[in-house]
Structure 1
Amino acid sequence: MKTLSGRLDQEAPLPVVLVGAGKVAHAAHLRELRDLRNVLRLVAVVEDAPERVSALREEGFPDIVVAGDLDRAVAAGARAALVCTPWWTHREVVLACLARGLPVLCEKPVSLDLAEIDELAAAERAAGVPVAAAYMKRHDPVVGLFVAHCRDRLAAGRRLAVDVHDPNAPHQVAHLLPYDPPPFGPQPPPAREALERALGPAADEGQREAYARGLGGSLVHQINIVHAVLDGGPGLHGTLLHADRWAGGDSVSCRWRPTEDLVVDAGHARLPAHRRYREVLEFTAEDSVATLTLPSPYARDESATLRVETWDAAGSVGTVRTITAEPGHTGFRRQLVAWAGSLRHDAGPPLPGLADVRRDTRVLYEAALRLA
């Protein structure tokens, strides 16, 4: 870390500012920050809504400084920023953080506009502090084992499939919020304007909606996992075979063929009547099938499960192995710990950054423009 980080106590908790105390902050980050006070110290919040600030104080942060802007947050001691504002505000917020020398962990999607991502990358280089993307699934140890398994067998891989059943409805997080969750509805005007800039005026409303939600709002996580599997080899860009949407745009699917022998299928279905979120990634190789099942990202009482089935046709012998992680140690929690460690001690591998964001976004941008 540079600039402001040079004054950090390397053994003390990392002092951070939360920018935006909305749904994802209350449903995920704040409950982890309460348990990680020895790792991160929340010193300030930038938030305009009084009810959200009041809820934050009641949820275990009574002495937090309510900062009208980032300068006040820096004066309060913040040395890094956790950005949880709506996605269409990320460019402005992240640029403001970088201008003040604050490293950033930004919720996804960091941006859906390739030009904005390039602008952020240039600002990141100029500031000399990193922007990390909140791909929290990458911090789940079971996801890591799945990626390693797929990489080891990539040459024999034939299909990598992603299937997401997502309520994407208020009831999914209502029990985690101290106020009524916002209703699912049309994108607000600033978001629609951002989507038109990102996709261009030729894209229709259905393409823009699918890009913001099923593709960029959800499948961006799984495309990042697929790219982790393909790391060092061909990516998905330029290999799209088809992209479809149906059910009024609530469902999308895409197929890529990154190599002669491997296809990648990914689908997201918004199913508001479903009570539970369901996500499955399955990698089929010549001699094995690995099935990764992930619970709701907001669940603490469930964990990822990896089931690996292998067989030897000649010997007629097969094996089945099931791996789970300890509940409660969520991707959100491990991500925050990894972020703090990377900034204080340069410990461990770097978090996914803007290069990853651009690679994933470029793939979904191409898919959005091809949607039937």
Structure 2
Amino acid sequence: MPVVLVGAGKVAHAAHLREVRDLPGELRLAAVVETDPRHVDALRHSGFGGVPVCGSAEEAVRAGARGALVCTPWWTHREVVAECLAAGLPVLCEKPVSLDPAEIDELTAAERRTGLPVAAGYMKRHDPVVRLFVDHCRDRLDQARRFTVDIHDPNAPHQVAHLVPYDPPPFGPQPPRAREALARALGPGSTGAQREAYARGLGGSLIHQVNLVHAALAGSGRELYGSLLHADLWAGGAGVSCRWRPDEALVVDLTHQRLPGHRRYREALEFTAEDGVATLTLPSPWARDEAATLTVESWDAGRGLAERRVHTAEPGHTGFRRQLMAWARQLSGEGDTALPGLADVRQDARAVREAALRLR
């Protein structure tokens, strides 16, 4: 399936380009839309030197593209995705597709108008071990007591320096256009600390896990939005945590900490039910030589018996890879499962936006 890559920056080099290169039977890079000369030059070092560099989605369509993989900075997504849809290209857009409910509504209208789908880059949903975890949670929602997420994230250049053929950008303040987008999304009454947390700890990271919680709760009538108990910010904004109570029996606790001194990324999700605990641990999203691990411990108090099962997947079959494979099937009309889309994006953004506005 010939596709165009829109934006050949960090996430494209650290994840998508190497997967596209290893999936010649599913995807072919027909064009790239990129204006940064450094990023264009880096394509030659990634094995894509012969791919045409275009100035627009329409030009990419003339080069043969039939789908658009959008990897531009998040604050550009509304205009980029809308341009791709107008050019006749279905889209897979990196997360967060948008943090602004008004922009999400605009894209939903464009999706309906063109009849073309916008898939959201929730790559964790495509990891088979994560899917086992979500299914486990769904099967035991009537016994659910607590859902927790704890992330230790270096969020530092060393995480991707070995994957990007140029010096990755340092962690720093949001650029002007991002600050403008955050002000629109949160409103004029929001603080700088709230906007920073919304862009990073909440919208840049925990929105993945909010999406997993929503996937587990789907169809149960339980919602995160509207059930927020509190949201906290500490360590100068490097730590953020939220607690929701979707119903009388269940609480959901999510925490993200930026810890540059930690050389390794750590992510753990735990689902506690009346009769057991399921713990999911995930490696860095950039890792290909590690895999997720799910440990399910259950017990029968009456018989005094316990059971412990461990599930893992073969390294290399990452969420990024399986997401691209699923998208390729969708583009070809062969996929039988819908990818997460704008309805998911809107549900997740409402929950994290509510949390951002409660931060003090």
TM-score using structure 1 length: 0.96
Counterpart CA distance in 1 for 2:87 and 2:54 is 15
Aligned twin of 2:157:
170
Aligned twin of 1:349:
337
Report whether the alignment pairs 1:142 with 2:148: no
The 5 Å alignment of 1:51-90 reads 51-90=38-77
The 5 Å alignment of 1:180-259 reads 180-233=167-220, 234-259=222-247
Counterpart CA distance in 2 for 1:104 and 1:277 is 29
Per-residue CA distance 1:138-197 (angstroms, 9 max, x = gap):
000000000111111111010000001100011111111100010100000000000000
The 5 Å alignment of 1:79-118 reads 79-118=66-105
1:38 deviation in Å? 1.1
Stretches of 4+ aligned residues off by more than 4 angstroms:
none
SS in 1 for 2:169: coil
SS in 1 for 2:116: coil
Q: Structure 2, unaligned stretches of length 5 or more? A: none
Contact map agreement 1:57 1:64 (CA 8 A) in 2: no
Letter in 2 for 1:320: R
Report whether the alignment pairs 1:130 with 2:117: yes
Counterpart CA distance in 2 for 1:43 and 1:63 is 10
Report whether the alignment pairs 1:320 with 2:308: yes
1:259 deviation in Å? 1.3
Q: Structure 1, unaligned stretches of length 5 or more? A: 1-13
Aligned twin of 1:9:
none
Counterpart CA distance in 2 for 1:341 and 1:68 is 27
Letter in 1 for 2:75: W
Letter in 2 for 1:309: E
Counterpart CA distance in 1 for 2:100 and 2:138 is 30
TM-score using structure 2 length: 0.99
Counterpart CA distance in 2 for 1:278 and 1:183 is 20
Per-residue CA distance 1:265-288 (angstroms, 9 max, x = gap):
000000011101000000001110
Letter in 2 for 1:158: R
Contact map agreement 2:45 2:165 (CA 8 A) in 1: no
1:335 deviation in Å? 0.1
Report whether the alignment pairs 1:292 with 2:280: yes
Which deviates more, 262-271 or 52-61? 52-61
Letter in 2 for 1:317: L
Aligned twin of 1:368:
356
Structure 1 residue aligned with 2:324, among 336, 340, 358? Answer: 336
> Aligned pair count?
359
1:51 deviation in Å? 2.1
SS in 2 for 1:150: helix
Aligned twin of 1:8:
none
Per-residue CA distance 1:65-94 (angstroms, 9 max, x = gap):
010112211111011100000000000100
Letter in 1 for 2:174: Q
SS in 1 for 2:257: strand
